[in-house]
Structure 1
Amino acid sequence: MRRRTVQTDVTMTTKQRLGIYGKLFWEARPIWHWLALSCVLCLIIIACAVLSPKLMGQVTGAIYDYWVTRSSGGQTDPLVPAVLPTLLILLASYGVSSGVRYANMSLMNHVVSHHYTCAIRIRMSEKIRRLPVKFVDSTPVGQILENMTGDVSAMGNSIHQIIETLIQGLLQMLLIAVAMLAEDWRLGLIVLATAPLSLLCSVKISGASRPYHRASFREIAQLYSVVEESYTNFSTIKAYNLEQAMAEKHNHTNQRQRRAQQRANLLSALIQPSVTLLNALTYVVLNLAGGWLAVQGALSIESVVTV
């Protein structure tokens, strides 16, 4: 049986990536009203994300003023009644944010994933009916099945996260940047200057893991082919005593897929710790700069905590 040559890994250009994003949104036209609802939910989440640090800064500022006044021997009002209403609003903000975030995640998971996976499988099935027999003869056994099941399922598990990130990430980055600059432009610039480092780090690491992910998917397709070939040609394999050869072929393919998946997972797992480290360093720099400005009297404790 003829086998189609496996394509080598090709690095996508920026234009190709933008084209993929554009096609994703173009394919989402039938569910535009659900995406609009998701945008509204994202705005509520972002509003809570902007409001919560402001409330926390007010509570921290009130505690700091209370401590300074008591240390200097002055008279102050009771602390708990003064901060309790703000704490209750802060608690409600966290609760609303968590509830809306869960609702948005469920919406994107069910609506977006179902739309893309169902629509793609239907279109693939319709296209297969129009393809010539030559395509089936030149395609490894099981590859079509793997494309319709494994590949589409893998995309369906992550497509809602991509859409949610594109919608919520852009809105959140814009609105929170405006809020930080409005609170204090110096600390806001520190955060905005270090944010591209996290993005660059994640892009570089994901780019390094991309070839291994593609190799893993290719080996999964080959594994499907081996299993399908063993199943459909069971009588032939038994007749020619090829059970051991097919078992070794399956084992070698499985080992190649396992190694590629391990390397891909290892590199992908480095993204979150690296971004967390950069965010922690940004937090340290932000506190040092904010503390110095507060000591100089150029900035209040409330603004430092808010940013």
Structure 2
Amino acid sequence: MSLDKENVSSGEILDFDVLSKLYQFVKPYQKQFYFLVFLTVALAVLAPTRPLLIQIAIDDFVSIGDGEGLLRITVFLVALLLLHAIVQFGHTYLSGWIGQVIIRDIRTKLYRHLLRMRLKFFDNTPIGRLVTRSISDIETLADVFSQGLASIIGDLLQLVAILLVMFWVDWRLTLVSLSTLPLLIVSTYVFKEKVKESFNEVRNAVSNLNSFLQEHITGMNIIQIFNRERREFEKFKEINREHRKAHLKSVLYYSVYYPVAEIIQAIGIGLVVWYGATGVFDLDLKVGVLISFIMYLQLFFRPIRMIADRFNTLQMGVVSSARIFKLLENNEQIPDEGSVAPDRINGSISFEGVWFAYVGQDWVLRDINFDVRHGETVALVGATGAGKSSVINLISRFYEINQGRILLDGKDIREYSLGSLRKHIGVVMQDVFLFSDTIYYNITLGNPEITKEQVMEAADLVGARKFIERLPGGLEYNVKERGATLSVGQRQLISFVRAMVYDPEIIVLDEATSSVDTETEEMIQQAIEKMMKGRTSIVIAHRLSTIQRADKIIVLHQGEIKESGTHDSLLRKGGYYAQLHQMQLKSMVTG
């Protein structure tokens, strides 16, 4: 097993291309977004009013002993604080709400996009990375709206409002107050760059950790079979160590920055107190102004301390957005431009000069030509890697051919809509996948049009009814992840029921009996004969005894058709098929 590590880096905060794409998801909620902007401006306006009112209270009422005036302004101040609290609540809730509905829409669109991707895309992309895109990266976008963009705009507006009021009250004291600002700006910039670097490392570590865990948990049986637990554990510890180091690095930067910012703020307040006290002593400055400036400084420095963190949140959101949009713009999808969608089909299939390769021109199939008439059973045989499974993958358009064409009832399969094409083809794979859900769900895949009665009728046909009824809850029995609580044979029987319940005109069996015992195989063979009656059938089997009664046997070797015919005619011919048959007879005798 290999671990495909991912490395990503932060982009620019003002990546207008990414922000414009992100805004497309905001458009359906424009009213709420503009109201959020209004609340942001309101918070900025309200921020400097409290120190201003306290200044007025001290200088205009406390200093002359005007208790009635002090009561009036106190009531006004309390009302203003309540208004500020209400606006703050609305701003926080609305920014979080917008963030959640947008990530819901993006996640929905991303999953819908993934559902249409070619299987080749999933062959080449680690599942853990897709999980990171669908969960962690999208979750980061919620922070862009709740802690990033709206908060940064609000902080900047608040800074402007506070500065304007400070200069209006006393420009000399304002300049003294801002004397330490360059130190704070420099330290904030250094902090922002360092935290951005550590955030990049954290995101890389999370993505690599997800990929590693998904791959190795899925392949746990291989790890245990080959006694690789210790080695894989060491690899996991290494990746986990990188994850810890990245997080601790960001913790270190926060641990250094915030005390430094507090010291700079304390120095600024100290200078204001020293200069302001001198003015008070000289009767050149009122006490209320001095107290209000101490409050202004606290209000002023707080958003500056937070703004670096918010910029990093926004930056990581832009990076996550860029990666999500890159995935959304990936065009490795099967074109679904066909309009043919018949209710029923005849089921005749033709391959005309089909060439196919998974990668480049490493041909898996070379100039394949054959016909399958309605109701006919065709068997594909050949050694592993001969191209048998590729043939059936192409019929359902899981992959696209490179050259040639495949016809269904005389029409190119690309003329059919994907949904219609696959509806008429029932596929039973060798490796049966079951979801962690009930047997009923795994058979119907959530299709509400299929009743339990129809499921049990199909189960009767393939001989699965008895074992289903013996399970606790019957059809409602939960098979757990990948059908872990069922035997291989039972999982195979469920896959037969799943294929039959949709009543397809074409049946494709890929090594459908290779994983069951002899007794179960005999039962399934009887069911297969019933399934194939009146249907076009394509069968892949290593055991040649299971396909002797096929109407036609096609022998594949290294992607080419070596010979075709009935079982008896191919034996008389004494070619490649006869050799395969003789080899299997010898293995049965010696076995």
Asked if Structure 1 and Structure 2 have the same fold, meaning a TM-score greater than 0.5 normalized by the shorter chain, the answer is yes
- 1:167: Cα distance to partner? 2.4
Please tell me the root mean square deviation across aligned C-alpha atoms, in Å.
2.8
Match of 1:33? 31
- 1:130: Cα distance to partner? 5.9
Match of 2:50? 52
Match of 2:168? 182
Is residue 282 of structure 2 the alignment partner of residue 286 of structure 1? no
Structure 1 counterpart SS, 2:14:
helix
Alpha-carbon distance between aligned partners in 2 of 1:18 and 1:134, rounded to the nearest angstrom = 35
Alpha-carbon distance between aligned partners in 2 of 1:217 and 1:141, rounded to the nearest angstrom = 16
Contact 2:167/2:174, CA 8 A, preserved across alignment? yes
- In the comparison of the two structures, how many residue pairs are matched? 291
Aligned AA (1:36):
Y
Is residue 231 of structure 2 the alignment partner of residue 245 of structure 1? yes
Aligned positions of 1:79-158 closer than 5 A: 80-111=67-98, 113-129=99-115, 133=119, 135-158=121-144
Match of 2:262? 276
**Deviation by residue 1:171-216 (Cα, 9 ceiling, x = unmatched):** 2122221111111111223334544543332221121122222112
Aligned AA (2:13):
R
- 1:49: Cα distance to partner? 2.1
Does the C-alpha gap of structure 1 residues 118 and 30 become closer, same or farther in structure 2, counting only changes over 3 Å? same
User: Which of the pair is proportionally richer in strand?
Assistant: 2
- 1:306: Cα distance to partner? 2.7
Structure 2 counterpart SS, 1:18:
coil
Contact 2:103/2:138, CA 8 A, preserved across alignment? yes
Contact 1:2/1:140, CA 8 A, preserved across alignment? no
Structure 2 counterpart SS, 1:175:
helix
Percent of aligned pairs with the same amino acid: 19
Alpha-carbon distance between aligned partners in 2 of 1:176 and 1:293, rounded to the nearest angstrom = 22
Contact 1:219/1:256, CA 8 A, preserved across alignment? yes
- 1:229: Cα distance to partner? 1.0
Aligned AA (2:264):
L
* Candidates 198, 222, 229, aligned match of 2:184: 198
Alpha-carbon distance between aligned partners in 1 of 2:146 and 2:50, rounded to the nearest angstrom = 26
Alpha-carbon distance between aligned partners in 2 of 1:266 and 1:20, rounded to the nearest angstrom = 32
Task: For CA contacts below 8 A with separation 6 or more, give which structure has more relative contact order.
Answer: 1
Contact 2:55/2:292, CA 8 A, preserved across alignment? yes
Alpha-carbon distance between aligned partners in 2 of 1:9 and 1:19, rounded to the nearest angstrom = 14
5+ long unaligned stretches in structure 2: 294-591
- 1:133: Cα distance to partner? 4.9
Does the C-alpha gap of structure 1 residues 45 and 290 become closer, same or farther in structure 2, counting only changes over 3 Å? same
Alpha-carbon distance between aligned partners in 2 of 1:241 and 1:175, rounded to the nearest angstrom = 66
Alpha-carbon distance between aligned partners in 2 of 1:20 and 1:3, rounded to the nearest angstrom = 34
Does the C-alpha gap of structure 1 residues 32 and 289 become closer, same or farther in structure 2, counting only changes over 3 Å? farther
5+ long unaligned stretches in structure 1: 67-76
Is residue 15 of structure 2 the alignment partner of residue 19 of structure 1? yes
Alpha-carbon distance between aligned partners in 2 of 1:175 and 1:64, rounded to the nearest angstrom = 26
Contact 2:56/2:288, CA 8 A, preserved across alignment? yes
**Deviation by residue 1:28-72 (Cα, 9 ceiling, x = unmatched):** 343332232123223332333222111111232257635xxxxxx
Contact 1:61/1:301, CA 8 A, preserved across alignment? yes
**Deviation by residue 1:262-300 (Cα, 9 ceiling, x = unmatched):** 111221343333323222221111222222223333332
Does the C-alpha gap of structure 1 residues 252 and 22 become closer, same or farther in structure 2, counting only changes over 3 Å? closer
Aligned positions of 1:204-223 closer than 5 A: 204-223=190-209
- 1:131: Cα distance to partner? 5.2
> Which deviates more from structure 2 when the two are superposed, residues 146-155 or residues 216-225?
146-155
Does the C-alpha gap of structure 1 residues 235 and 209 become closer, same or farther in structure 2, counting only changes over 3 Å? same
Alpha-carbon distance between aligned partners in 2 of 1:21 and 1:166, rounded to the nearest angstrom = 19
Structure 2 counterpart SS, 1:88:
helix
Does the C-alpha gap of structure 1 residues 181 and 148 become closer, same or farther in structure 2, counting only changes over 3 Å? same
Aligned AA (1:91):
V
Aligned AA (2:216):
S
- 1:108: Cα distance to partner? 0.4
Alpha-carbon distance between aligned partners in 1 of 2:177 and 2:102, rounded to the nearest angstrom = 36
Aligned AA (1:109):
G
Does the C-alpha gap of structure 1 residues 22 and 4 become closer, same or farther in structure 2, counting only changes over 3 Å? closer
Structure 1 counterpart SS, 2:175:
helix
> Which deviates more from structure 2 when the two are superposed, residues 146-155 or residues 18-27?
18-27
Contact 1:3/1:139, CA 8 A, preserved across alignment? no
Structure 1 counterpart SS, 2:48:
helix
Contact 2:3/2:211, CA 8 A, preserved across alignment? no
* Candidates 242, 262, 282, aligned match of 1:256: 242
Match of 1:69? none
Contact 2:4/2:208, CA 8 A, preserved across alignment? no
User: Which of the pair is proportionally richer in helix?
Assistant: 1
- 1:168: Cα distance to partner? 1.0
Alpha-carbon distance between aligned partners in 1 of 2:277 and 2:84, rounded to the nearest angstrom = 29
Alpha-carbon distance between aligned partners in 2 of 1:89 and 1:194, rounded to the nearest angstrom = 33
- 1:9: Cα distance to partner? 4.8
Does the C-alpha gap of structure 1 residues 195 and 32 become closer, same or farther in structure 2, counting only changes over 3 Å? farther
Aligned AA (1:255):
R
Is residue 205 of structure 2 the alignment partner of residue 227 of structure 1? no
Match of 1:162? 148
Alpha-carbon distance between aligned partners in 2 of 1:194 and 1:274, rounded to the nearest angstrom = 12
Aligned AA (1:100):
V
Match of 1:7? 7
Does the C-alpha gap of structure 1 residues 122 and 191 become closer, same or farther in structure 2, counting only changes over 3 Å? farther
